[in-house]
Amino acid sequence: MIFKEPALNIKDKLVEFRRDFHSHPEPSFCEERTSAVIRKFLEDNGIEIQEVGAGYSVVGVIRGGKPGKTFAMRADIDALPMPELNDVPYKSQNEGVMHACGHDAHTAALMGVALLINEVKDQMSGNVKLLFQAAEEKIPGGAKELVEKGALENPYVDAVMGFHVANALPVGYVAFGAGPGAAACDTYKFRIIGKGGHGAYPHATIDPVVISAYFITALQSIVSRNVEPVQGAVITIGSIHGGTKENIIADDVEMLATIRSLDEDVRALLHKRIQEICKGTEAMYGCKVEWELEMGYPVLVNDGDFINKYAVPSCAKIVGEDHIVEVKKSGMGGEDFAYFLQQRPGCFGSLGSGNAEKGLVQGGHTSLFDLDEDCLWRGAACLAQTAWDYLEENK
């Protein structure tokens, strides 16, 4: 079974799906309409819905006509709280919300998988699960809840796969990389509490602004001097607030930081050193350092054996061997698909969606993001093909 031609035959339908979602974006944990549309689509096509009670996430199950294993695929369905500046017929109708990360495309492609697989389910050995996941963009995310609520059970999922669109990759290409594919991403809130006073008499104060400068420098030394150079790690102070006037020494300074890593041991080291620096700063400067840590998504680790045995050969049937790219190093973005890969073998690949000739080169999380919709049928076909081939080989 080859899904290329069947996917081309539903190309226009997938574009219609995607544009509907793009016009009606909903942010994380608020995907009420999106969820309802997906549910109606599954019901209209006679596809079983597995009720797991995970918010607005929707789980579809297509049972094959012959016994076998179960292959799951995931699409995130949430949008971002940002305005859209594109002048297109399918522009966001919800002010201040936009599908700026391509989740509308992911959802449309997975609906395409549903149509493709459902058409031939009687010939299929095993089952396919469709994980339409809410709230990828906002910690704690929706993937962890799906796992906890049993979405990978009944029937038991044996392997899982997903794609993320990428405008840095031309449409027609797909990319995979074994090992770390996305970073663990954690958030700190720091508050340095000093003793305010008049700017002309600093000796009578404990200046949190000056202390914060040393504190930030100390934090930056963790990556440069405590983390092995070949390991990936980032400490970024993205927000700092303190003071109201040039001649007033503030009482406190607040900072927000993102901490990213590609290895769980490095992740633990970063937190250990950060908290040691907090305590050391208190001792050195006589201030108080408060900190709050929000643990984010874990490191996403792709299964190299799964990629080589299933994802690459199957996708080559759709896009051609010369359109498959090997990713040799991970980016530092976060992705809660990591929770699925902690539980089951599989991979999370990149689906080419860029087109320089059409001006579709903007990166995600920007107000001008848009993509080449020819990626939709390719994504659907690649996922369906990998699922089919996996189930056939493991029946």
Q: Is 51 a catalytic residue?
A: no
CA dihedral 324, 326, 331, 335 (to 10 degrees): 60
Query: pLDDT tens digit string along 179-198?
Result: 999 999 999 999 999 999 99
Q: Which amino acid is at 22?
A: H
- Percent of residues in the chain assigned helix, strand, coil, to nearest 5: 40, 30, 35
CA–CA gap between residue 388 and residue 386 (Å, rounded): 5
Question: Which residue among the candidates 31, 84, 335, 373 is catalytic per the annotation?
Answer: 373
CA–CA gap between residue 128 and residue 311 (Å, rounded): 16
3-state SS class at 13? helix
Compute the average pLDDT of residues 291-295. Answer: 97
| Residue 393 CB coordination number (10 Å) | 13
Q: How confident is the model at residue 345 (pLDDT cuts 50, 70, 90)?
A: very high
Tokens describing residue 312 = 């690459």
391 φ/ψ sector (left φ>0, alpha ψ -120 to 50, else beta)? alpha
Q: Is 297 a catalytic residue?
A: yes
CA–CA gap between residue 110 and residue 131 (Å, rounded): 9
| Residue 217 CB coordination number (10 Å) | 9
Domains of the chain (ranges; CATH) run 4-181+300-393 (3.40.630.10), 184-294 (3.30.70.360)
**CA distances from residue 201 to 149, 192, 205, 247, 248 in whole angstroms, order as listed:** 59, 20, 7, 10, 10
Calculate what percentage of the chain has a pLDDT beyond 70: 100
CA–CA gap between residue 7 and residue 377 (Å, rounded): 5
Query: pLDDT tens digit string along 81-139?
Result: 999 999 999 999 999 999 999 999 999 999 999 999 999 999 999 999 999 999 999 99
Question: Which residue among the candidates 297, 310, 339, 390 is catalytic per the annotation?
Answer: 297
Closest listed residue to residue 387, CA positions, set 38, 131, 164: 131
Computed over every residue of the chain, the mean pLDDT equals: 97
Residue 395 is predicted with a pLDDT of: 86
Residue 349 is predicted with a pLDDT of: 98
